[in-house]
Structure 1
Amino acid sequence: MLRYAATRILFLALGLLVASALIFATLRILPGDVAQMIAGTEGTPAQVERIRSDLGLDRPVAAQYLEWIGGVLTGDLGTSMLTRASVAGELAAKAQVTIPLGALSLVIALAFALPLGVVSAVRHRTRTGTAIGVVSQLLAAVPVVWAGLMFVVLFAVLLGWLPAQGFPRAGWQDPVGAIRALILPAVTIGIVEGAML
């Protein structure tokens, strides 16, 4: 059992390493020059070259990748080339919304899926079981983006019960506003994911 777990962990690490190398190389191969974007349309070739040198983009891709992966392994995710802000800081700021949204969506999906799944299994080949199966198949086929738009139109625009503008600028300093902002997207994701479950 221990050998199996070690093999799985090794394959996971190798998979992550290969995926990170492919993504890193793809981002370097794609058209568009980060240094040119930072310099803007008014930037001179000398300014673009200076920015490229400051960012380390003039070095070989393999050297850039090894430096980046070394930083990742030590907990340093680096800085954004465009904003010059810490990537870890930006991820932490986004996680303040994404993690609660994901958790709330999962709770709603499970609260929706488990009881209906049990009823559907217990009442297999009855009208109730068939109806639950049909409704769940229909809801699973609905794109989340479309369902979200319909919920915004209904609950935010027409009824005015929930906000439509997104997460408040004050963030979690306004907990009531933050929770109200998460309800609509969490219910949308939860219902569609719950139908799949």
Structure 2
Amino acid sequence: MIVRLVQRVAILLASLVVSSVIVFAFMAVLPGDPARVALGVSASDTAVAQLREEFGLNRPLVVQYFSWVRGLVTFDPGNSYISHTQIGPQIADRLQVTLWLVGAGMVLACLLAVPMGTLMAMRHRRPSGLVLSALSQAGVAVPAFLAGILLITVFAVGLEWLPANGWTPPAQDPVQFLKQLVLPTLSLGLVQGAVLTRYVRSAVLDVLREDFLRTARAKGLRPGQALRRHGARNAAVPVVTVMGLQLATLLVGAVVIERVFVIPGLGSLLLDSVSNRDLIMVQDVVMIIAMAVLLVNFLVDMIYLMIDPRLRGGAS
């Protein structure tokens, strides 16, 4: 178990290093001078040179890379090229918003997918199972942004039950916070839940066809009891993989949903920074998202070790 954990940590660290090199190299080869963009085309060469000196843009790329990584590790990524304000607090504030959105969307997706997928598998030859399967297929075909627009049209514009946009911190006004969280959560959770439902159905169907489950049913257990006692853990292994991928998808999908609902999250900060050509901010936000995806994959590996005892020993 300890050996497996050390291996996974080593893979995580190596992946973080490779990701940081790729992100930095991609930003470094983009055309244009960040100092010139920040000051405007009419700025003098002296002013541009001073700004390049201030942000360290005149140093070798290797030095810039290690300085950037040191800033990330010490939670002090420096100042924005455009606003000259500290990047760390801005990312921290926006990240909290995105985590609320992604976390709520993932919880909703799981609450929908696990029972519906299991029910679809156990009733896959019955009309109710076919109806649920058709609904999940329709959910897969709808993009999250389109679901958001439809929800706004119905519940915000038509019925006027919920706000169409905006964001209130939970500490400031919990009730308004929950109201503003409902529609974006539904936009992400319903679509991702429909996708996850298909995988849950497939995993449960595979387990239901196993010999050990037939034996449990032959001993007198009902299908649901046999699945809960003997098949749930086996079905959970492939589902956990998909859930990890879905969580990474939610992080990326939140960028669009934040725009639809005018939510000041990490995705909105990224798009605004791209529009302003604030390359250091773009670089930091992209790296934060990459780190989040890699961390999710690491956590999925750890959950594997807890779910499947076969992975705790022997060679992988």
Instruction: Give the match for residue 72 of structure 1.
Output: 72
* Number of matched pairs: 196
Which deviates more, 82-91 or 54-63? Answer: 82-91
In the alignment, the residues of structure 1 paired with residue 170 and residue 108 of structure 2 have an alpha-carbon distance, to the nearest angstrom, of: 22
Question: Which whole-Å CA distance do the structure 1 matches of 2:115 and 2:84 have between them?
Answer: 48
Residue matched to 1:83: 83
Partners in 2 of 1:68 and 1:4 — Cα distance? 31
User: Distance in 2 between the 1:105 and 1:156 partners?
Assistant: 19
In structure 2, the residue matched to 1:175 is 174
Which residue of structure 1 aligns with residue 131 of structure 2?
Answer: 131
In the alignment, does 2:180 pair up with 1:160? no
The residue aligned with 1:56 is 56
Distance (Å, rounded) in 1 between the aligned partners of 2:32 and 2:154: 41
Q: What amino acid is aligned across from residue 179 of structure 1 in structure 2?
A: L
Q: Structure 1 residue 101: deviation in Å?
A: 1.5
Aligned to 2:40: 40
Tell me the equivalent position of 1:24. Answer: 24
Task: Select between 86-95 and 184-193 the one with higher mean Cα deviation.
Answer: 86-95
Q: Deviations over 1:100-151 (max 9, x none)?
A: 2122212221221122112112212111112211211220121111111111
Which residue of the partner structure matches residue 101 of structure 2? 101
1:192 is displaced (CA, Å) by 0.6
Measure, in 2, the Cα distance between the counterparts of 1:171 and 1:159. 24
Displacement of 1:59: 0.7
Question: Bigger relative contact order, structure 1 or 2, given CA contacts below 8 A and separation 6+?
Answer: 2
| Aligned CA distance change for structure 1 residues 145 and 45 (closer, same or farther; 3 Å) | same
Distance 1:32 1:176, change over 3 A: farther
Post-superposition offset of 1:83: 2.5
- The residue identity in structure 1 corresponding to 2:52 is R
Please state how far the C-alpha of 1:86 moved relative to its aligned partner. Answer: 2.5
Q: Supply the distance in 1 between the matched residues of 2:90 and 2:115 (Cα, whole angstroms).
A: 38
* CA shift in 2, pair 1:71/1:96, >3 Å: closer
Query: What TM-score do you get using the length of structure 2 for normalisation?
Result: 0.58
The one-letter code of the counterpart of 2:138 is L
Residue 186 of structure 1 corresponds to 185
- Identify the residue that residue 150 of structure 1 maps to in structure 2: 150
Mapped partners of 2:3, 2:111: distance in 1: 37
Tell me the CA shift for residue 92 of structure 1. Answer: 1.7
Structure 2: segments with no counterpart, 5+ residues: 197-316
Aligned residue for 1:184, secondary structure, equals helix
Percent identity over the alignment is 36
Provide closer, same or farther for how the CA distance between residues 171 and 56 of structure 1 changes in structure 2, counting only shifts above 3 A: farther
1:8 aligns with 8
Deviation at 1:7, TM superposition (A): 2.1
The Cα of 1:2 is off from its aligned counterpart by 2.5
Query: RMSD over aligned Cα, in angstroms?
Result: 1.7
Q: Distance in 1 between the 2:15 and 2:98 partners?
A: 25
Return the offset for 1:70.
2.1
